[in-house]
Amino acid sequence: MDSTKILKASFLDILFDERNKAYGAYELRSHYNRRVRNAVIGTSSIVLLLIGGYVLNNRLMAATDVKRPFEVKKEITLTEIPDIPEKPVIPPPPAVQNTPPPQVATKAFVDPIITTDDVLETEKPPKQSDLEHVAIGTKNIDGIEDNGIPAELAQGTGTGSGVITVEKGNAETDVPVSFVEIMPEFPGGEEALMKYLKRTTRYPQMAMDNEIQGIVYVQFVVNRDGSISDIKTLGAQKGGGLEEEAMRVVKGMPKWKPGRQNGKNVSVYFNLPINFKFTNQ
């Protein structure tokens, strides 16, 4: 290319000087900027069209889909509560009138008076023989003899034959009781019981996952032969498998030393607290 034309020529004219410009590369490079501009404008137009359509659609949907409050009418029928009949007033039973016991015979006691005058027969003190089986009083009263037994018993005002019969109880009974003279005991005592619980109890996985802890109270019956029966838990349920684990531990216990009452083995209720305490280690 002539040096006088280089300053006025474009980069493409210099690059394709004395080359075949009709091959296609020159044409593509010469219109590159225009194609890029058209592509940007076209893409922007499509994006704006999509955004505008989305916004327009939301406005149209908001205008048509208006949620209005509605009222639900429900007829409520009140049921008449019947009158509660008044409880009849039961009069109190009549007062029991106790028959007074019969009067014990008494002899009037006369103070001795020293005098030289004659004493009337009525004023003389009673003889010793007259005071047998009578009580000393302030006046003479006829009644039953005083033999040292209360008048109500002497007259037989009580009921029954007067003989108290005590039924023999069976100390060896299968009906459980709550308290006895000697309570049941785990073999080896309380320390052995604590070791057994520590060795046998397994913390349930469900309770560990949910961090459930607390004391489970287990009630069971220690029978006359020391065996365990009627196992159940008391109080509010902790859940997480704690109650099931506590009952499983109690079921696996060896025979206890049974409770005793009046020197005989008896069945006794026993309450055992098992503490499940969750610690993060």
Q: What is the DSSP string of 187-255?
A: TT-HHHHHHHHHHH----HHHHHTT--EEEEEEEEE-TTS-EEEEEEESS---TTHHHHHHHHHHT---
Question: Where does the pLDDT of residue 269 fall: very low under 50, low under 70, confident under 90, or very high at 90 and above?
Answer: very high
Question: Where does the pLDDT of residue 109 fall: very low under 50, low under 70, confident under 90, or very high at 90 and above?
Answer: low
Q: What is the pLDDT of residues 193-217, one digit of tens each?
A: 999 998 999 988 888 888 888 899 9
The residue ranges of every structural domain in the chain are: 1-66, 189-276
Sign of the C-alpha dihedral computed for residues 20, 23, 29 and 34 taken in this order: positive
Write down the pLDDT at residue 249.
Answer: 92
Q: Compute the average pLDDT of residues 103-127.
A: 61
C-alpha–C-alpha distance, residues 145 and 132, integer Å: 9
- The DSSP secondary-structure symbol of 141 reads B
Instruction: Classify domain 189-276 at the CATH class level.
Output: alpha beta
Question: Where does the pLDDT of residue 171 fall: very low under 50, low under 70, confident under 90, or very high at 90 and above?
Answer: very low
Q: What's the pTM value of the predicted model, to 2 decimals?
A: 0.40
Task: Single out the residue of 113, 103, 114 nearest to residue 140, CA to CA.
Answer: 103
